[in-house]
Structure 1
């Protein structure tokens, strides 16, 4: 029905146009009729009325315009009346026949200012901005003085060309010609600066002269919204209203968009009421902005009501309501509105299609995704680059990366960088590192230059320092390194590859740092054990007056957790509350974690209870905090409360509870939990499987450890390490080493904890040479610097093998100063082999480092007792009493 109405409308307009042409043909055959010479009742021909009537039809076709041109050529009107020539040229421009318009313009012997303005604005309207600029230059060189409309049009062309230098030259010329106060010219310059990401310059132009033209105010308000300065837009709007200027529909649509972006629903409702009072409520753009306001503020019911209240809706209105449902994660409603669009034959554009594809980007909507893809091919949207990129992203999100690659292979425009970026991102998200890097390298073979999206996506999965440096060189050469997203990806890559120094250098060189950059660098310092540096960086961020968000607060709270700094954590908590993000779920979980790790369990529980919504992180953090502090029963009771409250149990919470059971050493509770985990379907989760391995190991059942490990579909590094350490702790060194070799064959790189298990396995089997090999392999093959626990394992290995002097030499040659753990390990070996002299040396070193270590006193006393030196035993016991050291009494669960 809609198409029939549209067809009738076109026919009516076309007939109307041909009536004008027919009447003109009659006049052309009888020129005297122009002037009413033969019939006094005929009114004289008025070109203005004639062309005005045709313009009212709003229907311009190249065919009708050329017919009109042909008839006018037969008369002298075309060459004698500049109004007729300008009108015809305007029709050519509106018919998108710019070549014909320019030829007609060139035939005008004395073009006036309107002629120049028509051809310049015609090129603008047809998106031929280069041509618009060239015509303006030609106009200026011919000595013709532009007017305010000329300057406005050419400034619009400069804005579209992203050419602020040319725009400044034009604006300077306008100022020189006395148009400094003209609102149309200043609005064009404001718009130019705002679109060229120089909003401060736009503000400077705006404040240069008091403007009473609403166009100027609209330009600066829309420019502020475009540049993310939404509060500035709201402030300028208030100034505008205090100046007694009446906002129009453009003003209201911009200011409502600003309210939507800062999620100020109540303020937006006030502006909505004002728009209705001003008569702008029925404007389609204002109505669309109102829908967007309610949608972004999460009130979709009201958004739908406003949508159906609109007297007229366009494709933008429909796309806005669909996007609102997508943001609300209501894919069903989004698809229902899309279906309604198709039913009433509403116009659909590529933005609508990309929103619908986002709605289908769920594993549960695979069939709908296939159907939408089929419709896209049928409707002809398949060739659109943004739609193709959305298809790739959709299939990636639903787990069908092979279909993403199929869409990528079928693309027509191989030069479109957006599609390449989408495919690389899809592969990166699915951890297909090799294929993503191959695609990135292929871009260079195709003579394509990867943009910031391609580069940042591939950097997110690079774990090779050499390749990462190559991408860094490319980014520096092309200037991409100065982009905030690429810069952040670069220093994150260096941090991930273990080069924290290079990571910080890249961070310092970044000109513009956003909250993601600060949070990532703070997290990088924390992950590498430099919590103090993370705190200093946070203070530097505060001096930069960067607005705190939940990401930054969470990162710095993690640093406080690693330092066990309760005082700093409390200060950060205060910052979070003042910044208005203290009640965010992510921040709440980080606060619970921080207080738990700092031993302030009462505060952790208070924050936990005050959280309006509790997530898995906060639950597992508090359970883990109770467990590690020895409050095992409280941990299990909290786990029970979580279940009773129906909060849902995830793998992180289960892992924390299993850790508590491992500390409790109660296998019966562990078995019950294992059964519960199996019922929930979490037994195949890597983190849960690793926790089960550790739990069974602590409970003494190495066979159950191996059974659980074998059930894990794809063990990660933590899972492999847990099993290796379990074998080593149970004296099964050979099995631990075999598992270590199998892990390397799977392509998993060991970490420092893995090597503790490997060296322990060598110690239990007396494999001295293998122990030296693996210790050297840490630095040589994996770039891991050995720590005290690794050196203690080697001392234990040498001590068990009776090579005590070699162990002593090994300690003296350590690159780091030995601690009490290393000397204590040697002391234990001296006790086994009865070496009293070396035992005294080792004990002396332990006493110096940890005077309150009762174990060292007891070990030395036992060595002396074993060789019958009872006087030495009494001296050691009296030394213990003198220093206040007390031996802990033995205890057992049995």
Structure 2
């Protein structure tokens, strides 16, 4: 009978069950369990009521069945009627409440439970963490008498999901000290956390432990490794991981395609898209965002149009606002602003702030102030709190010398209560993250950093560097503008990275805001002067500086398309 049940041939199994001359508790429990597991709770209930022998397993089968089918009220009724409960029945009921996000009732049962095991504690820790109550999760974790790898993975994931990346990594360090073996979930979570804060060196160390544990070639951990290298600025190592993943799924392909697109290697992204199709992996909507973004970075307008049209024809994907935003960004960056506007008018839904933002970014690149003003007006109506768009329009005014309008923008931000997000950059040196803000003097080695920057500034000017003072949104003297540009956070982080990271290794710097045009130009000169590869990540993309050039097609590259990728993947 069990052979039929494993194949879900319930009718044949029921016929055998009905013909059995003698039915023991195992026979009744097996049939009840399989009806319940297949969502046929009415048949399970009828058998349960007919069963002459109801042991703890019979009752637990009904509790678990109701929970699996979302019938918590019936599950609790059966649970309360049970003459005897074991750890499995308690855990099943608690897990049901946790899954339905009713942590109050889960907590009540957990406190009343006389026979807790590791699974009970782990379920509660996970539940509190997923509901955002990380303090309670940590409190239970501390009280837990015996932790296992699942316990550690749950608390690490809890901190990571609640935005406390540093505490997540600290728990990972404690886990290693405790001698606990890491499971796939813990590895995946910690690698994702390294990606969030761009902790490249720590990520590489964890990669070594992944290899020792034998998880490297699996899709689950492999995808996390792949994403970590992509987001930490090492696309070559990401590709090496990608090659070693044995069974690549759509996430694997999407990650490498988006990774290449965001690093500015559009042709490589499109080559991998063609390989994905040859591997018979069906592209999804995320894939197509990466593909369209790759076309945008590479200036392949007609190819982008082809891929956009092929979405519905070849793959049955209905274009959403993100795909339209990518296309408008592609057309706009190519200078085809009329085509971009026509496409926006043809959209089957109203443009959102991201779509207007793509048009505003294109307007800034091509100096079309009137179109930029129109796009900004629509964005302010949809998202009056979007400080980035105020700054983008201010940049457009400043580049045209319209200082009165720049001041009006500043006043409008103040009147509407919008605050500009402070810019900061960070660089990892010897497993420590060093963060800098504009004009920062708080770093322990500030004097040395500024002295090195002064030396670089002299060498850069001899190399032909001229400060882009038009970008300073203040109507002040030229010398003051030059000084303000010199102290930008990315320049400080780059200088410190060059000072501390051994020669021959790339300097990887990360910034929370878009890199400014002047810093972009300056870092090209710096990379040439010091003979280093400098990789700079901002919210839009990666810039690879080497031998005085950057791999991006346009200096500004202030598009919104890559932010669409962030929403999907980063």
Mark yes or no: TM-score above 0.5. yes
Say if 1:290 and 1:355 are closer, same or farther in 2 by CA, change over 3 A: same
Does residue 1:406 correspond to 2:406, yes or no? no
**Per-residue CA distance 1:143-165 (angstroms, 9 max, x = gap):** 5666544555555555554x3xx
Which protein has the bigger strand share? 2
Q: Which runs of 5+ in 1 are unaligned?
A: 1-46, 410-419, 442-453, 464-493, 508-515, 523-546, 558-571, 622-644, 654-894
Report the counterpart of residue 573 of structure 1 in structure 2.
441
Cα distance, 1:120 vs structure 2: 6.1
Rounded Cα–Cα distance in structure 1 between residues aligned with 2:146 and 2:110: 16
Asked if 1:329 is matched to 2:269, the reply is: no
Per-residue displacement from partner, 1:578-613 (whole Å, max 9, x unpaired)? 7999899xxx98999799867598998899899579
Aligned residue for 1:212, secondary structure, equals coil
Deviation, 1:220, is: 0.9
| In structure 1, C-alpha distance between the alignment counterparts of 2:165 and 2:56, rounded to whole Å | 38
* Partner-residue secondary structure (3-state), 1:311: coil
Q: 1:605 to 1:167 in 2, by over 3 A?
A: closer
CA contact (8 A) 2:28 2:47 kept: no
Q: Distance in 2 between matches of 1:363 and 1:502?
A: 38
Distance 1:580 1:362 in 2: 37
CA-to-aligned-CA distance 1:29-61 (integer Å, 9 cap, x gap): xxxxxxxxxxxxxxxxxx56x46xx63xxxx5x
Structure 1 residue 219, shift from structure 2 partner: 0.8
Q: How does 1:354-753 map to 2 (within 5 A)?
A: 354-362=289-297, 364-378=299-313, 381-383=316-318, 388-398=320-330, 399=332, 400-409=340-349, 423-431=352-360, 455=383, 498=412, 500=414, 503=417, 517=421, 519=422, 553-554=437-438, 557=439, 572-575=440-443, 616-617=517-518
Which residue number corresponds to residue 136 of structure 1? 75
Q: How much has 1:274 moved relative to structure 2? A: 2.0
Cα 1:106–1:347 change in 2 (3 A) is farther
TM-score relative to the length of structure 2: 0.63
Post-superposition Cα deviations, 1:406-461, rounded to whole Å, max 9, x if no partner, equal 3434xxxxxxxxxx6x63431354357879988999xxxxxxxxxxxx65688987
Relative contact order, higher structure (CA 8 A, sep 6+): 2
Residue by residue, what CA displacement relative to the aligned partner does 1:309-333 show, whole Å, maximum 9, x if unpaired? 2333223222222232122122222
Preserved CA contact (<8 Å) 1:190 1:203: yes
Distance change in 2, residues 1:140/1:603 (3 Å): closer
Q: Does 1:305 align with 2:240?
A: yes
1: CA distance between counterparts of 2:448 and 2:98? 38
Report deviation, 1:87: 4.1
User: Is structure 2 residue 23 aligned with structure 1 residue 71?
Assistant: no
Q: What runs of 5+ residues in structure 2 fail to find an aligned partner? A: 333-339, 361-370, 392-407, 425-432, 458-466, 499-506, 508-514, 523-546, 556-570
User: In 1, distance between residues paired with 2:281 and 2:520?
Assistant: 48
In the alignment, which residue of structure 2 is the partner of 1:205? 140
Q: Is the 8 A contact 1:221 1:237 kept in 2?
A: yes
Deviation at 1:167, TM superposition (A): 1.4
Counterpart of 2:45?
105
Residue matched to 1:764: none
**What is the CA–CA distance in structure 2 between the aligned matches of 1:330 and 1:256, rounded to whole Å?**
24
In structure 2, the partner of 1:168 is 104
Secondary structure of the 1:188 match is helix
Distance 1:647 1:502, change over 3 A: same
Secondary structure class of the residue paired with 2:19 = coil
Higher helix share: 1
- Distance in 2, matches of 1:87 and 1:379, equals 46
Structure 1 residues 435, 142: closer, same or farther in 2, change over 3 A? farther
- Aligned-residue Cα RMSD (Å) equals 5.0
CA deviations on 1:275-319 (whole Å, 9 max, x unpaired) are: 222333343212222222222222222222222223332232222
Cα deviation 1:92-140 (Å, max 9, x = unaligned): 566xx52x24432353125655456556666776xx6xx2433433334
Map Cα deviations across residues 499-556 of structure 1 (whole Å, 9 max, x no partner). 736628xx7xxxxxxxx65x39x9xxxxxxxxxxxxxxxxxxxxxxxx9966xx34xx
CA distance in 2, matches of 1:119, 1:347: 39
| Contact 2:17–2:27, Cα closer than 8 Å, also in 1 | no
Q: SS state of the match for residue 430, structure 1?
A: helix
Q: Tell me what 1:802 maps to.
A: none
Distance 2:85 2:165 in 1: 35
> How many pairs align?
447
1:183-222 to structure 2, matched below 5 A, reads: 183-222=118-157
- In 1, are the aligned partners of 2:97 and 2:105 still within 8 Å (CA)? no
Query: TM-score, normalized by length of structure 1?
Result: 0.42
Are 2:176 and 1:241 aligned?
yes
The answer to whether 1:295 aligns with 2:226 is: no
